[in-house]
Amino acid sequence: MNNFTKLGFILATLGSSIGLGHIWRFPYMTGEYGGSAFVLVYILLTIFIGIPILVAKMVIGNKTQTNVVRAFDELDPTAKKHWKKASIMIIGGPLILTFYAVVLGWVFYYLVVVSFNLPDTIEQSNNIFATLVTDSILASIGSFAFCIFLTGYIVSKGVKNGLEKYNFILMPLLFLIFIGLFFYAMTMDSFKQSISFLFSFNIHEINTNVIVMALSQMFFSLSIGVGTIITYSSSAKKGDNLLSSAAWIALSGVVISLVAGIIIFTFLFNHGQSASEGSGMLFKAIPLVFGQMAYGEIISLLFFAAVLFAGITSTISILEPPVAYLSDTYNISRAKVAYLICLAIFIVGLVVILSNTKAYGAYFTFFNKSFMDWIDFFTAAIIMPLGGLLALIFLGFAVNKKIIYKFVKGFMSREVFNVWYFVIKYIAPLVIFIVLVAKFVETFAKAVN
């Protein structure tokens, strides 16, 4: 496998998170879980926990220069090599894609259909989205199929001709369009209200649920816990400054999240809508604004094209770890592995789509949660944090500290290394463990009641 360039590695890893994770998921999670309280916790967790974890995952991949399973195996100092079981995290990626690509399919539908028939009122906007999700089964399936098999096609091309090539094109396009939308939002009266909602930092509103969901958003937005970071860093030049790369990726992601939040909440508040619009936020407020703008159709086309392409950079990063592992281990062509995994994702994704419909939703709803909601919960709140936790315990307690320092001393002083090592060995695992236990207790209590 060809290696990433330095910029290619940063763009690819950044692209893995800057997509629906920041543009779709962050705003609606912020709206549902405390506004500025959620934002504050999310920023703090990203800086003090997310960046150290990113570096840890990068070290595992960059030192071994191989797939996730083999990376754990090579660094495992024990005779029985049990630590490779920690690579079970790679199953999280395909599970995430079963609902992530469905949402991305909605974006594709808005690009090719709704952009040419934009709503004039919030009622029309709500009806368009509700009809797509609950009634238009064939449209949802077709859009989902396009996104997941396009993902398979790009991944089948490899690092240089697939992952890096498309990220170089798509990420700058997203940035340019978002800068324009941000300046447009600044002209609206509701801009100050949006700023206040995101940055008033009401500490008294912070609770266990806010912390848990902020942590899950951090893992989701940084692609931690599914093997993406390990896989991508294995294709980066050995010995690159992983600390600076991690900082660029994490902080750029935070900025994009906040910009997306400011834009979307400004649009929402400008039309008298609540911040807690849920997962449909991106598909309700934005089309309505475009419908009231000059050249709204063109702007809508550009916007949803950018979101679609940004989402595709995320789906290819999520699919890459299992494809890399299976093709390397069993000497099967990348194309065959990519398309087979996509086919399996497509089959499960059909159930996800049906779980949201009026006709079949009741058959796929358990404990008042749809099949889609359950997959989102297990992957974002459990599988991804657990995958990150296992990697930290492995690097902090199984791998010799001197081996790690020897590898990172080119871009870390001894003082920085000691702080980073303490965080990944004790602080980050403890935070993740406490949050996981709290979430399990909360979920169990709700089930009993």
Q: Give the number of domains in the chain.
A: 1
Residue 371 sits in a domain whose CATH number is: 1.20.1730
CA distances from 431 to 141, 231, 435 (A): 39, 25, 6
DSSP string, 383-395: IHHHHHHHHHHII
422 pLDDT band (50/70/90 cuts)? Answer: very high
Task: Work out the average pLDDT over 223-233.
Answer: 81
| Domain, as residue range, for 282 | 6-448
Task: Work out the average pLDDT over 361-372.
Answer: 88
Distance between start and end Cα atoms, the chain: 52
* Residue 165, pLDDT score: 63
Is 97 a member of any domain?
A: yes
CA distances from 269 to 30, 189, 358, 380 (A): 14, 9, 30, 28
Task: Work out the average pLDDT over 76-84.
Answer: 84
| pLDDT tens digits for range 163-207 | 556 666 667 777 787 888 889 889 888 999 999 999 988 788 888
Q: Give the containing element (helix H, strand E) for 366.
A: strand 365-366
Asked if pLDDT for residue 442 goes beyond 80, the answer is no
Closest alpha carbon to 259 in 145, 174, 168 = 174
7 pLDDT band (50/70/90 cuts)? Answer: low
Task: Work out the average pLDDT over 364-372.
Answer: 87
Task: Work out the average pLDDT over 341-364.
Answer: 95
- Phi, then psi, of 34 in degrees rounded to 5: 100, 5
* Residue 269, pLDDT score: 86
Is 416 a member of any domain?
A: yes
Task: Work out the average pLDDT over 277-281.
Answer: 70
Task: Work out the average pLDDT over 352-365.
Answer: 94
* Residue 335, pLDDT score: 92
Is 20 a member of any domain?
A: yes
1 pLDDT band (50/70/90 cuts)? Answer: very low
Task: Work out the average pLDDT over 61-85.
Answer: 87
Is 442 a member of any domain?
A: yes
Q: Which of 8-22, 121-135, 155-169, 212-226 has the highest mean pLDDT?
A: 121-135
| Summary mean pLDDT of the chain | 85
Is 162 a member of any domain?
A: yes
12 pLDDT band (50/70/90 cuts)? Answer: low
* Residue 328, pLDDT score: 86
* Residue 308, pLDDT score: 87
Closest alpha carbon to 93 in 16, 12, 13, 14 = 16
Q: What is the spatial distance between Cα 353 and Cα 355, in angstroms, rounded to a whole number? A: 5
Residue pair 386/403 in contact (Cβ under 8 Å)? The answer is: no
* Residue 59, pLDDT score: 94
Task: Work out the average pLDDT over 108-124.
Answer: 93
Asked if pLDDT for residue 387 goes beyond 90, the answer is no
Model pTM above 0.75: yes
Is 1 a member of any domain?
A: no
Is 319 a member of any domain?
A: yes
| pLDDT tens digits for range 283-318 | 887 898 788 777 789 888 888 887 887 788 888 888
Residue 384: count other Cβ atoms within 10 Å of its Cβ. 27
* Residue 10, pLDDT score: 65
| pLDDT tens digits for range 238-272 | 878 889 888 988 888 899 899 989 988 888 888 77
* Residue 449, pLDDT score: 60
| pLDDT tens digits for range 390-414 | 889 999 999 999 999 999 999 999 9
Closest alpha carbon to 4 in 227, 194, 229, 198 = 229
